[in-house]
DNA sequence: TTATTAATGCAATCAAGTCGCAATAATAAA
DNA sequence: TTTATTATTGCGACTTGATTGCATTAATAA
């Protein structure tokens, strides 16, 4: 099944690129120029994740956020970094440091989700 | 507003104690002896979190899990540990190690949510 | 034993996300 | 360039997790 180049796809990609942050579905919806259906946005984002273009972050608000994969080679994704979600402005960012968590004997890691929420640089000043 | 000692409260507390793990609302519902309304269970659990009796974990499945606070003093909660969710059996456990993540200048941490999912000891054998 | 009000049960509601299906449009083929 | 193929979209319906309003129940205080 070959992927096609559609307008929604391009627009969503642009928004993600320009923001440089992790965005939730509704943030994306409100920032893309053309009106696009909710379901479509979700489908595009899920395809991006399948294709290794974005990675998915589940916030402590229970919502999904999507961020571009930057330093990931196609084959081996490295996403063992924390994300920071600002409870004031809603911004979700990737933190630099890669983290390794020791797992007990016999445990097999499959996905990593590290999230800290609080106030970001801008919002903590107010 | 003073808390009262009710049956639901006791039963939910018991289930959490006996399991020693983090449980989701539906796991709790299926394990308590008396039939209790969904909403009640949520309310009890939320109260527990407010009172520092449990802490809340948001899984990468988007669901909330609740675990007893063990080593937390009333005033200062230490929850900077990871949780492990088994995608096979659904079990959510607290991992031992406390983690410290360096935050960039100006960022204020308020809550920590670290979750790794994969296969637990038992399920990785199969 | 009675009064007070926290907690419950029920139904309605909300929100995030998914799915089926017919219509649309991007690409391949003629 | 035109036609055929099928990935993608839009819409509505639906699922699931969680919350809320309100009348009723029951734990505690008086």
Domain for residue B1, yes or no?
Answer: no
CA distance linking residue B106 with residue A125, whole number of Å: 8
Neighbours of A125 (CB within 10 A): 8
Domain for residue A2, yes or no?
Answer: no
The residue assigned the tokens 């989700």 is A113
Domain for residue B33, yes or no?
Answer: yes
How many residues are recorded in chain A?
126
Domain for residue B2, yes or no?
Answer: no
Q: What is residue B77's predicted lDDT score, i.e. its pLDDT?
A: 58
CA distance linking residue B99 with residue B95, whole number of Å: 10
Strand partners, B98: B81
Q: pLDDT confidence of A78, banded at 50, 70, 90? A: low
Domain for residue B73, yes or no?
Answer: yes
Task: Return the CATH number at B43.
Answer: 1.10.10.10
Beta carbon of A121 within 7 Å of strand C?
Answer: no
pLDDT tens, residue order, chain B (126 aa): 899 999 999 999 999 999 999 999 999 999 999 999 999 999 999 999 999 999 999 999 999 999 998 765 444 556 688 999 999 999 999 998 888 889 999 999 999 999 999 999 999 987
Beta carbon of B6 within 7 Å of strand D?
Answer: yes
Angle at A91 between CA A68 and CA A109, to 5 degrees: 55
Beta carbon of A63 within 7 Å of strand D?
Answer: no
Q: What is residue B7's predicted lDDT score, i.e. its pLDDT?
A: 97
Domain for residue A82, yes or no?
Answer: yes
Q: What is residue A80's predicted lDDT score, i.e. its pLDDT?
A: 82
Using the CA of B61, which nucleotide's C1' is the nearest one?
Answer: D17
Contact A116 B119 (CB under 8 A): no
Q: Containing domain of residue B88, as a range?
A: 7-125
Q: Which of B58, B95, B98 to mutate to test the interface with A (most CBs of A within 10 A)?
A: B58
Q: What are B52's two structure tokens? A: 């520092």
Q: What pLDDT, in 10s, does the model give residues A34-70?
A: 999 999 999 999 999 999 999 999 999 999 999 998 7
Q: If you average pLDDT over residues A71-100, what whole number do you get? A: 79
Domain for residue A45, yes or no?
Answer: yes
Q: What is residue A77's predicted lDDT score, i.e. its pLDDT?
A: 58
How many domains in chain B? 1
Which nucleotides on chain C have any atom < 7 A from a protein Cβ?
Answer: 5-12, 16-20, 25-28
Please state, for a pLDDT cut of 90, what percent of chain A lies above it: 78
Domain for residue A1, yes or no?
Answer: no
């Amino acid at each position: 099944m070959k992927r096609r180049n559609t307008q929604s796809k391009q627009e969503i990609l642009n928004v993600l690129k320009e923001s440089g942050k992790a965005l939730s579905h509704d943030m994306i919806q409100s920032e893309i120029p053309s009106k696009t259906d909710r379901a479509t946005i979700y489908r595009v984002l899920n395809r991006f994740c399948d294709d290794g273009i974005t990675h998915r972050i589940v916030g402590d608000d229970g919502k999904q956020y999507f961020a571009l994969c930057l330093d990931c080679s196609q084959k081996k994704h490295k996403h063992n970094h924390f994300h920071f979600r600002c409870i004031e402005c809603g911004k979700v960012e990737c933190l630099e440091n890669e983290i390794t968590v020791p797992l007990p004997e016999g445990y097999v890691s499959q996905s990593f989700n590290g999230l800290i929420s609080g106030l970001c640089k801008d919002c903590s000043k107010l």
